[in-house]
Structure 1
Amino acid sequence: MVDLISTTPPKSATDLFSDPLDSHPLWFKPTLFLSPDFDSEPYISELRTFVPFDTLRSELQSHLSSLNHELIDLINRDYTDFVNLSTKLVDVDAAVVRMRAPLLELREKIQGFRTAVENLLVALRNGLRQRSEAAAAREVLELLLDTFHVVSKVEKLIKELPSVPSDWSNGDMNLIEKNALSNGTSLQHAENGTNLRETQSMLLERIASEMNRLKFYIAHAQNLPFIQNMEKRIQSASLLLDGSLGHCFVDGLENRDANTIYNCLRAYAAVDNTGSAEEIFRTTIVALLIQKIIPHKLSGVVVGSSGDELEDDYKQIKDCIEKDCKFLLEISSTENSGLHVFDFLANSILKEVLSAIQKGKPGAFSPGRPTEFLKNYKSSLDFLAHLEGYCPSGAAVVKFRAEPVYVEFMKQWNIGVYFSLRFQEIAGSLDSALTLPSLVPVHSSHSDENSQDLTLKQSITLLESLRSCWTEDVLLISCSDKFLRLSLQLLSRYASWLSFGLAARKKGSASSNAGCEWAISASPDDFVYIIHDINWLAKEICGDYLEGVLKLLSTCSTEVLDLVKKSISQAGKSLSDSLPSVINTIIEAVVDKSVEDLRQLKGITATYRMTNKPLPVRHSPYVAGILRPLKAFLDGEQATTYLTNDAKNNLLFGAATEITGRYYELAADLVSVARKTESSLQRIRQGAQRRAGASSDVSDNNVSDTDKICMQLFLDIQEYGRNLAALGVEAANIPAYRSLWQCVAPPDRQSVVNY
């Protein structure tokens, strides 16, 4: 049938001029219907995403019609075969009856066999369940029997221990013989030369091993009544073991019996009770040693102390550890011994040291006295490093630092409060110096020898504060980032003090910024001190100071060191950047004094206006005073002592340029007014002569008042140029001087500046 259906029917007569009957859109694939896993719902859902429902229905109906047509054509084509097929099916019912009988018989046999198998399977499962229950019961029974045997064995071994723990310290043969009656093993060890203490420790280790085994059993059967009934026996045995083991361990510590201590430690490790061994060692050995070094009562009241310093105490404690504790530390660090679970360094030694300091010297942890606090803190770090030296490996060091006692010990040192106090101390000192109402020059003989090249108290205090941040008695390497930030803040505070002061001076009032009074009252000579100190500080900060800081931080990474170097260098450069402002302030002060003499040139107008004075032949007296303030400043003690040649030249040229500019402004204004006045007077005179009918009889040889004024100014600026040359300034290089020359020079002299 499949072959017949898949055969394409021939085209009918109606298909000559249209698509064949099996023509379909590209999205419609009839072959998918023949797929074994074809599902109509996903197929329709997928097509509906891009094909309208009506179109899909129409196409399916068309396909159905095509199939029906094809089926009819197929039947019509093979009709004879279909008819013959029905005629050949003779006596089908009888054949079916003959075939049904054996099939029914086979079904009955299979059903019976299946029932038997199911019964066997049920029986087998019941047997397996019973077997599993029996095995579990047997396991529990064996566990209970083992528990009972272990408890009995522990009790028997405990009875073999000495009845009087204090007798353990005496290992004579009488005691050995006494215990040999009940313990043949003890006698055998005694005969072999093994002392009683070691024998007992070995027995305790054996008991501890059994107790560990007993704990395992109890953990797996703790809810059973049998175990609950044995709890008192187990608890009693555990208490006896702890007491006996403790006494034996103390006896071994007092006699420094390495074998006994080793066996006891293995016993403690077996019962997972390391804390008891650590506590016994602390109270028996360590506490007595520390009590002698740092006396204190159990109540915590100090019974006697020579102060809160810990350095000497730590030295004595180190000696005691080396002398009286090292033997136990070596035993507990024995390789492949399993004793690495003990941490006597932290839970015995450090714990007792911390307790003794808290009770005997509580002030040692107080940051209220920063110097003593820092000394004690550094001594404590050195002590911890000494303890870490007893650790056999790097992993042991990490474990030691992670112990709660170690963490608690470090918490006692409040580094944050210490830095806050140092910050207030250092920053407060500088702030007090910068809030003084005036600059305070300090002679070298009275200043600190490390700052003897500085001249102002404010600058000296800054340098001292900067150095204090990195001195041995102040710096904490763990707080180096904070001290670096404090150093940069100090430099910023000094730079702000300087810039605000200069701004207030330029404004003429210090009311807006407190602490700027010094700049209002400062003289140009005082600013010379500032220039010198800024140069010196910038050189020092970017030089020796920076090298010292980098040396202290040499253990840091290269990236960190680069950042530190960059930040400090930038801070030092910021000080140098303020130098032009200081120089301008000096220039303004000198120029203001010079302008007082320059204003006298206004008298030239009164000298030559409406007078018959001849042309001037020499300069005015005021010219000599114009540059006098500048020369006096440059020749002063402060400038000659503290200013460099470059600074002098910059200041000289800047002041000369500014003074010349003021000179030009006043002279140009004077000439302009004179010419305007003369022009007005000339018009008035000419008008009067025309009204009187007189002819103008003005001689060309007459010299006007404006010409006389200009000549006087010309003579004055020539003298002024010579005075500038005497100071070392070429007047022709100053643009304002050339403009002034062009303004007052005669027409035949304007082309060349020659004075």
Structure 2
Amino acid sequence: MADLQSPGPPRSTADLFGDPVDSHPVWFKQSSFLQPNFDSESYIADRRTFVPFETLRSELHSHLSSLKHELVDLINRDYADFVNLSTKLVDVDAAVVRMRAPLSEIREKILVFCSAVEASLLALQTGLRQRAEASAAREVLELLLDTFHVVSKVEKLIKELPSVPADWSNGDVNFAEKDLDHLSNGFSIQHTENETNIRETQSVLLDRIASEMNRFKFYITHAQNLPFIENMEKRIQNASLLLDASLGHCFVDGLEHRDANVIFNCLRAYAAIDNTRRAEEIFRSTVVAPLIQKIIPHSSSGVVGGGASGDELEEDYKKIKQYIEKDCKFLLEISSTENSGLHVFSFLSNSILIEVLSAIQKGRPWAFSPGRPTEFLKNYKSSLDFLAHLEGYCPSRSAVAKFRAEAVYAEFMKQWNVGVYFSLRFQEIAGALDSALAGASLVPIQTSHSERRNSQDLTLKPSVTLLECLKSCWREDVVVLSCSDKLFRLSLQLLSRYSNWLSSGLAARKAGNAGSNPGSEWAISAVPDDFVYIIHDLNCLVAEICGDFLRHVIGLLSSCSTEVLEPVEQSILQGAKSLKDLIPIVMNSIIEAVVKKSVEDLKQLKGITATYRMTNKPLPVRHSPYVSGVLHPLKAFLDGERANTYLTRDIRDELLHGAAFEITGHYHELVADLVSLAKKTDSSLLRIRQGAQRRGGASSDVSENNVSNTDKICMQLFLDVQEYGRNLSALGVEAAKIPAYRSLRQCVAPTDSQNTIRAGLAYTK
């Protein structure tokens, strides 16, 4: 039988290249089949995500085949033991019966034990639940008993107060209407040490009662909607009313006599029952309100007396500060005692500031009106100073933050409509500049004979108005730090408006039409001397803006960070640069105007052709009269009073050379056209003459000694150009350095002078 089970000859474990025959891919782990939680379906699903199904099936078949071969090998190796196994299994059924009996007995015992455990657990849980219910009922009972004891204790302590006026129960504690020197027992309180002791004892008892009431409120919170508590509601209300009335009277009495111990105990009591608003209202009505009424008298119907002057609110604040220092400081110091727990009170905002706000609204309503910007700003700054004075009574930064977070503080600041104030200032400042720029002509500043104008002063009304508007934005009686961003933007807008006014006017002048740029009529009618004022004012404005104006603005904003100051400085400098960039454009307008006048004289060049055409005039020996007038407009402008007074040497030289270059360029164009036309005319006449001579049979030779009309014209032009060069030199311009002048001389120079001119041109180059 062993032969029948033989698998045949053993297989080689390696193929021709040395790789194992039964080797598997890396992803095929045989150990996975031996894991106790192996699941075939999940295994196949996991492998199919990255292995084709056919490949997986092939590997599984291969693995199955190897397992079968391994099983056969094991059987063949231990075949004798495998055959004897069946012969050793004798009386197996009887052994199974013997083992089943004790196992059944153990099972029954376990079931009985589990039933006993479950019964014990149920009994235990029932006992615990009953115990918890009893404990909760006991807690409620203890809570009710504590509540009853607290109410009884509060009632007893109230009865033990040294003096209880009969009318305290109604809660009225206004000593302006009540006689505070009368007590409910009929005894008159004398101003003696006995009175002080009674008052202090009373405050101590009230502090103790308030602590009990605080404890009572804690019990009520945890025992709501219980019949016992509802039945005690009337007693609770009576106790609360008596406590409130007694505490209010004691607090008023302490304020009247400035008894620090009594006030301290009363404040502790108010803090204990979480009724700080009541203490703040009593202090406001009994101490603050009468004082403010004296300073700012008013009635429920409105203002009492006449109107106020612009600085009356500032005077009112001074008096209020004195009263606070005299009559309120003692309470503020008591409420800010360290580690006293009295920081919950806000007497500064809910007693003082709220009363001041109410008094101003009723007695000084015009103080909040931005319709009068100067008075509004003065009152606004006085109010900010008053708030800073109140913050001085805060003992810490957290107290200052709390004061600023109060609703009364926000309401007080809301009364000052700074946005409307800025709008009015914007219209005032921007409107002034717009009015100055709306003129149809440039208006110089008028000065009296007694005043002597400085060369550093501004000359035109728009320029003066711009500088005044810029300074107005940052004047002390205008600037508001909370609007500093808007004022800074307005300053840049003013610079931009002035810059656009100039550039639009210059563009309209160059185009020769102001229709596309309304408001540019001034530039059309302006003369070169007017542009001198503009250049001078631009230089002065740039110097002022980059100097004193910039330092003043940075000084006002010095409290800001560097991240704010640097962009502000750069923006102002950029605005000044935009003005400085206009100077070359203005200079070009001057040059264009001067060149235009000079070109009018150059048009006389056409007369030279008529002078020498078809005439027998000899070669010219003098320059033409028009040459003297070509540079006359330029010389007259530079020698004028305005140019000498308001233009720097560098600008005058730049204008001189710019105009000289332009005039020479026009001169060259006119001369080149004239010479070209003359040569074409001579060429045509020569062809006509030669044709006539050929038809007449005469000789066609032309004498070389004859001088043509073109030569005469060129000679005249040459003399004119030489004189023009001498005039340029007289003005301080080297004619040889002007390319158009060199081309001009070469164009009209005689033939025998061409070589000399070319050599000179090469030398100058």
TM-score w.r.t. the length of structure 1 is 0.92
RMSD (CA atoms)? 2.8
Q: Partners of 2:442 and 2:599 in 1: how far apart?
A: 26
**Aligned pair 1:323/2:319, yes or no?**
no
Q: Which moved more, 1:426-435 or 1:309-318?
A: 309-318
Say whether residues 1:593 and 2:609 are aligned partners. no
Which residue of structure 2 aligns with residue 349 of structure 1? 352
Which of 489, 492, 497 aligns to 1:488? It is 492
Alignment of 1:296-311 (within 5 A): 296-307=298-309, 309-311=312-314
Pairwise CA distance, 1:102: 3.8
Find the aligned partners of 2:665 and 2:155 in 1 and give their Cα distance: 114
Segment of structure 1 superposing worse, 360-369 or 534-543: 360-369
User: Would the aligned equivalents of 1:438 and 1:519 in 2 still touch at CA under 8 Å?
Assistant: yes
- In 2, are the aligned partners of 1:371 and 1:474 still within 8 Å (CA)? yes
Deviation string 1:673-715 (CA, Å, 9 cap, x unpaired) is: 1111111111111111111112246432221111111111111
Q: Matched residues in 1 for 2:131 and 2:509: separation? A: 106
Kindly indicate whether residue 532 of structure 2 is the aligned counterpart of residue 532 of structure 1: no
Retained in 1: the 8 A contact 2:436–2:462?
yes
Q: What is the correspondence of 1:378-527 to structure 2 with a 5 Å cutoff? A: 378-445=381-448, 453-527=457-531
Q: Which amino acid aligns with 1:15?
A: R
Distance 1:451 1:351 in 2: 58
How far 1:287 moved relative to its partner? Answer: 1.2
Question: Which structure 2 residues correspond to residues 495-644 of structure 1 after superposition, within 5 A?
Answer: 495-644=499-648
| Alpha-carbon distance in 1 for matches of 2:257, 2:388 | 29
User: 1:335: which partner in 2?
Assistant: 338
Q: Residues 303 and 124 of structure 1: is their aligned pair in 2 closer, same or farther, counting only changes over 3 Å?
A: farther
CA deviation after TM superposition for structure 1 residue 426, in Å: 0.8
The Cα offsets for residues 608-633 of structure 1, whole Å up to 9 and x where unpaired, read as 11111111111111111111111111
Structure 2: gaps spanning 5 or more residues: 169-174
Distance 1:70 1:669 in 2: 118
Question: Partners in 2 of 1:632 and 1:147 — Cα distance?
Answer: 110
Pairing partner for 1:13 from 9, 13, 18: 9
Residue of structure 1 equivalent to 2:121? 121
Structure 2 letter corresponding to 1:129: R
Please list, as runs of the form range in 1=range in 2, the aligned pairs for 1:207-286 lying within 5 A after superposition.
207-286=209-288
Aligned residue pair count: 736
Counterpart for residue 53 of structure 1: 53
Deviation at 1:23, TM superposition (A): 4.9
Counterpart of 1:200, as a letter, is Q
Q: Does 1:704 align with 2:708?
A: yes
More displaced 10-residue stretch of structure 1: 392-401 or 683-692: 683-692
- Which residue does the alignment assign to 1:4? none
Contact 1:541 1:572 in 2 (8 A): yes
Measure the CA separation in 1 of the matches of 2:746 and 2:577: 43
Change (3 A) 1:221 1:636: same
Instruction: Render the CA deviation track for 1:245-268: whole Å, top value 9, x for unaligned.
Output: 112111211221111111110000
Provide structure 1 residue ranges, at least 5 long, that are not aligned to the other structure: 1-8, 180-188
Q: Is the 8 A contact 1:311 1:376 kept in 2?
A: yes
| Distance in structure 1 (CA, Å) of the matches to 2:80 and 2:751 | 143
Change (3 A) 1:177 1:39: farther
Deviates more, 1:16-25 or 1:439-448: 16-25
Residues 638 and 218 from structure 1, CA distance in 2 versus in 1: closer, same or farther, beyond 3 angstroms? same
Contact persistence 2:509–2:524 (CA under 8 A): yes
Give the letter for the 1:201 counterpart. Answer: S
| Aligned partner of 1:717 among 691, 712, 721 | 721
Verify the 8 A CA contact 1:451 1:463 in the aligned structure 2: no
- Which residue in 2 is equivalent to 1:665? 669
- Asked whether the equivalents of residues 612 and 712 of structure 2 are also in contact (C-alpha less than 8 Å), the reply is yes
Q: Which moved more, 1:273-282 or 1:106-115?
A: 106-115
Alpha-carbon separation, structure 2, partners of 1:295 and 1:49 = 92
Greater Cα offset, 356-365 or 542-551: 356-365
Name which of structure 1's ranges 91-100 and 194-203 shifts more when overlaid on structure 2. Answer: 91-100
Q: Is the 8 A contact 2:154 2:212 kept in 1?
A: yes
The match for 2:172 is none
- Give the whole-Å Cα distance in 1 for the aligned partners of 2:49 and 2:514: 82
8 Å contact 1:444–1:452 — kept in the other structure? no
The alignment status of 1:688 with 2:692, answered yes or no, reads: yes
Q: Give the distance between the partners of 2:289 and 2:270, measured in 1 at CA.
A: 21
Counterparts of 1:432 and 1:158, CA distance in 2? 78
Matched with 1:746 is 750
Alignment of 1:45-124 (within 5 A): 45-75=45-75, 77-124=77-124
Separation (CA, whole Å) in 1 of partners of 2:303 and 2:454: 46
Deviations 1:490-530 (A, max 9, x none): 11111111011011011111011110000000011100000
Give the C-alpha shift of residue 74 in structure 1: 3.7
Q: Which residue of 1 aligns with 2:291?
A: 289
Report the Cα offset of residue 69 of structure 1.
4.9
Cα separation, 2, equivalents of 1:504 and 1:271: 80
The reply on whether 1:153 has 2:149 as its aligned counterpart is: no
Contact 2:164-2:184 at 8 Å conserved across structures: no
Match of 2:164 in 1: 163
- The answer as to whether partners of 1:147 and 1:217 remain within 8 angstroms in 2 is yes
Instruction: Describe the SS at the equivalent of 1:195.
Output: helix
The answer to which of 109-118 and 80-89 deviates more is 80-89
- Distance in 2 (alpha carbons) for counterparts of 1:190 and 1:94: 114
Please give the alpha-carbon distance, in whole angstroms, between the structure 2 residues aligned to 1:58 and 1:172. 111
Q: d(CA) in 1 for partners of 2:225 and 2:452?
A: 82
Alignment partners' CA distance in 2, 1:173 and 1:417: 58
Closer, same or farther: CA 93–552 of 1 in aligned 2, 3 Å: same
Amino acid at match of 1:247: H
The residue aligned with 1:185 is none
Does the 8 Å CA contact 1:305/1:360 hold for their aligned counterparts? no
Q: Which moved more, 1:741-750 or 1:166-175?
A: 166-175
| 1-structure distance, mates of 2:180, 2:201 | 12
Alignment of 1:125-144 (within 5 A): 125-144=125-144
Q: Which residue is 1:183 aligned to? A: none
The structural deviation recorded for 1:749 is: 2.6
Q: Is the 8 A contact 1:296 1:304 kept in 2?
A: no
> What is the one-letter code of the residue matched to 2:107?
R
Deviates more, 1:309-318 or 1:143-152: 309-318
Structure 1 range deviating more: 113-122 or 536-545: 113-122
Distance, in Å, in 1 between the alignment partners of 2:634 and 2:647 is 14
Whether 2:373 is the aligned partner of 1:377: answer: no
2:354 and 2:739 mapped to 1: Cα distance?
A: 82
Match for 2:248: what amino acid? G
CA distance in 2, matches of 1:681, 1:54: 109
Contact 1:168 1:196 in 2 (8 A): no
Report the TM-score when normalising by structure 2: 0.91
Letter paired with 2:296:
I
| Equivalent in the alignment of 1:6 | none
Q: 1:177 to 1:535 in 2, by over 3 A?
A: closer
- Aligned amino acid, residue 208 of structure 2: R
Match of 2:207 in 1: 205
Distance in 1 (CA, whole Å) between partners of 2:184 and 2:154 is 26
What is the CA-CA distance between 1:346 and the residue it aligns to? Answer: 0.9
Cα shift readout 1:545-571 (whole Å, capped 9, x = no counterpart) = 111111111111122211111111111
1:359 to 357, 362, 368: 362
